[in-house]
Structure formats: C-alpha cells, structure tokens
Amino acid sequence: MKKRLFSGIQPTGEVHIGNYLGAIKNWIRLLDQYDCIFSIVDYHAITVELDPREMPQNIMHVATVNIAAGLDPERSTLFLQSHVPEHTELAWIFNTVTPIGHLERMTQFKEKAQLYKHNINAGLFDYPVLQAADILLYKAEVVPVGEDQVQHIELSREISRKFNTRYGEVFPEPQELLSDAPRIMGLDAKNKMSKSLNNYIGLLESPEAIWKKLSVAVTDPARKKRSDPGTPEICNIYHLHRYFSSPKEIDWSAQGCRTAGIGCLECKKCLSDNIIKELTPIREKAKELFDNPDSVQDVLRRGAERCKEIAQETMKEVKSKMGLHLGLYTEPSKI
Ligand code: AQP
C-alpha cells in the first residue's frame, strides 16, 4: 500500500513559476511513489474577494495548467474541493478542537489581513483549519508544499493530535515535503512570487510577455551600471537560473556577474530563453486541453467520485468516535 499524499492549489488566477517550482514539479515527481490526491481549493480561494463570473474559468485554468504541466490524471486524483462537502463538515468539527491563539499566530493570516484590510473575514482566519480538514479527510501523511505553507501543516499535525487525544485515534500526523525551490521570490526580488502581488511569470505567458517582464525584473541593486561587478548570490535572476539553466550557464552567469563580464540584460536574456524553452510544451499542451474542456471536466468528475467515497468513510469514523452518528449510518431503516 502506497502512503497517501495530498496537496492543493487555489483557483485565484494564473498559475505561476513559483507554484510550478515550489509545488507542481514536485507533485509530478512524486506521482508513482504515493497515492496522490490533488485538489483545486475553491473554498480557500473565496476567502478573498473574487468575481464569481471568473470562478469557472479560474478553476478550468488551474486544472488545465496542472494537467498540461504533467500532473497525469491516470496516475493521480484531481478534483474540485467544493464537489466534496465533507471538507467543510470536517473543518467545522476541527474548529472545535483548534485554539484561537494558534490561528492568531499564522503568518499567512497576518500578511493577508494587511493586504485585504477591507475584508478581514472569518474564513481568512479559519483558512488553516479548512486546510487541516482537506488533508486529514484523506488521512494523507505527506503534503508537498512551498515554504509558506509549513506553518499550516504544523497546525494540521496539532489538530490531528488534539482530535485523536479527545476522541480516539483516527488521523495520522501529516508531514510537509518541500521541493528544492521552497520559496521563489517575485520579480520585485522583495516578496515571495505571488498572484496577489502581481510579481510573477505565468506558466502560460507568451515568450514576448516573459521577456518583457524579465527585462525589467530587479537584480543585484549594487550593479548600477554595466561595468559594476555584482554578487550573484543576492540576485534573484541568478537564483532563477538555478532552476531553468544548465550547470554551464549557471557558472557563466555567476562568473560574468562577479567580473562584470556580462551585463544584467545578457544574463536575463539567457534565463528568459531557458524559461521559454521549458514552458513552451506546457503552453502548447494547455492549448490542446482548452480546446477540449470536456476531457478536463471528466478528470474532475472522476476525481470527485473517488474522493467522496474516501471522505464519507472518514466522516463515518469521525462521527462514530464523537458519538454523533446515532446508528444512522449502520441501520438507516431505523431512522
Ligand atoms: N513563491 C512561491 N515559491 C514556492 N512555492 C510557492 N507556492 C506558492 N507561491 C510559491 C506554493 O504553490 C502551492 C499552491 O499555491 P496556492 O495557489 O494555493 O497559494 P498561494 O501560496 O496563495 O499562491 P499565491 O500566488 O501566493 O496566491 P495569492 O497571491 O492569491 O495568495 C502551495 O504549495 C504554495 O506553497
């Protein structure tokens, strides 16, 4: 029996190279090693204000891009969170074992509360509890995420422990699994690459758009002119080379920067070419899938069917431990 793996992605806009390097590439690498379940987490997405008219295309975008990038639906399960209502049901139960103080400590909540001052809603605060429910509903033991999610996975372990201690053993303690790119910085080189900060390169962007964005991306601030030597280790462009370029090109970029042998624009051009080379097949595959949306919807439908079965089993067990079932599950005729 393979261990179960769960991870999610929000349908909040374009999937970017931070999501790709920090999560999706790792998911693809792990497809055969684990029983993989991936969710498009639309109930998480609505904790910020989104235009409902854009939601269906956001969901289809995220599903399509993931499949195009290599998330093989024959070797994994992909589904939409709101298709399985047990997620919110279990989240409610977990609310009753989660101390408010723990939620108040969550960095993501503090950051988002700053960013969305006009809409600090209870769902934003409760986000990590729903995330614990997402993972534990499937008794997943492994959760591949970017560094920004580690604190939430720690909380999931704590919720699991609290539930098990109060009601009896049901849940495992899930462990995060970081990729070799746990925190990709945005093109501003100041913040994590993020949709909401608009500092990203989208996976489906055209070669022209990629170059346009990279050509003005922030580099080592000490290199004010071409003849100034730089420090590659503090340059975000150099860090990105490490994920897209060959060892020879990475060396070329570091040496050229230190000796002012190359300019930032030359270094960016090489990176841009390599990003475009890696993303072009994904863009082309995505185009094919966009022309055939039924196949993507079918993946989500099959995914939800499988997940519902597992989720309902877990909820039976949870309710039984909590004394909430009253025999209704086992003897429906006596209701
Ligand atoms: N910059 C990043 N570096 C590494 N990993 C990242 N992830 C996100 N940004 C980076 C990882 O991608 C997975 C899915 O992310 P998500 O869409 O659920 O959430 P997010 O972190 O909220 O993405 P954004 O772009 O920052 O969205 P907004 O701006 O809407 O909040 C997760 O595993 C995440 O760690």
pLDDT tens profile 210-220: 999 999 999 99
pLDDT confidence tier of residue 57, bands split at 50, 70 and 90: very high
Q: Which residue intervals of 146-199 are DSSP H helices? A: 150-167
Mean pLDDT of 182-193: 97
pLDDT confidence tier of residue 143, bands split at 50, 70 and 90: very high
For 256-277, what is each residue's pLDDT tens digit? Answer: 999 999 999 999 999 999 999 9
pLDDT at 331 over 70: no
Known catalytic residue at 268:
no
202 lines ligand 1 (CB under 6 A): no
Q: Write the CATH number of the domain with boundaries 207-288.
A: 1.10.240.10
10 lines ligand 1 (CB under 6 A): yes
**pLDDT at 335 (0 to 100):** 45
Known catalytic residue at 195:
yes
Within the chain, all domains assigned CATH 1.10.240.10 are found at 207-288
Distance from C-alpha of 73 to C-alpha of 66, rounded to nearest angstrom: 10
For 149-180, what is each residue's pLDDT tens digit? Answer: 999 999 999 999 999 999 999 999 999 999 99
| Residue with CA closest to ligand 1 atom 15 | 9
Rg (CA), the chain: 22
pLDDT confidence tier of residue 11, bands split at 50, 70 and 90: very high
pLDDT at 240 over 90: yes
Residues with Cβ within 8 Å of 30's Cβ and at least 6 positions away in sequence, in order, are 5, 36, 142, 144, 177
Kindly state the tokens that stand for 206: 């055209």
**CA of 54 relative to ligand 1 center, distance in Å:** 19
Average pLDDT, the chain: 96
Kindly state the tokens that stand for 143: 């959760």
Which strands form 35-40's sheet, in the order they lie side by side? 77-80, 35-40, 4-9, 142-145, 175-178
**pLDDT at 328 (0 to 100):** 59
Mean pLDDT of 237-251: 98
pLDDT at 296 over 90: yes
39 lines ligand 1 (CB under 6 A): no
151 lines ligand 1 (CB under 6 A): no
| Residue with CA closest to ligand 1 atom 23 | 194
Distance from C-alpha of 266 to C-alpha of 211, rounded to nearest angstrom: 12
For 112-130, what is each residue's pLDDT tens digit? Answer: 999 999 999 999 999 999 9
**CA of 18 relative to ligand 1 center, distance in Å:** 7
**pLDDT at 238 (0 to 100):** 97
Architecture of the domain delimited by 4-185+293-334? 3-Layer(aba) Sandwich (3.40)
Within the chain, all domains assigned CATH 3.40.50.620 are found at 4-185+293-334
Active-site residue, from 3, 25, 162, 192: 192
Three-class SS state of 175? strand
Tell me what percent of the residues of the chain surpass a pLDDT of 90.
Answer: 94
Nearest to 158 by CA among 121, 128, 138: 128
User: Which of 251-255, 264-268, 295-299, 324-328 has the lowest average pLDDT?
Assistant: 324-328
pTM value surpassing 0.85: yes
Counting Cα atoms < 13 Å in the Cβ hemisphere of 62 gives: 25
Mean pLDDT of 92-110: 98
Q: 325 vs 297, which has greater pLDDT?
A: 297
pLDDT confidence tier of residue 325, bands split at 50, 70 and 90: confident
**CA of 58 relative to ligand 1 center, distance in Å:** 15
Mean pLDDT of 243-254: 98
**pLDDT at 3 (0 to 100):** 98
**pLDDT at 327 (0 to 100):** 60
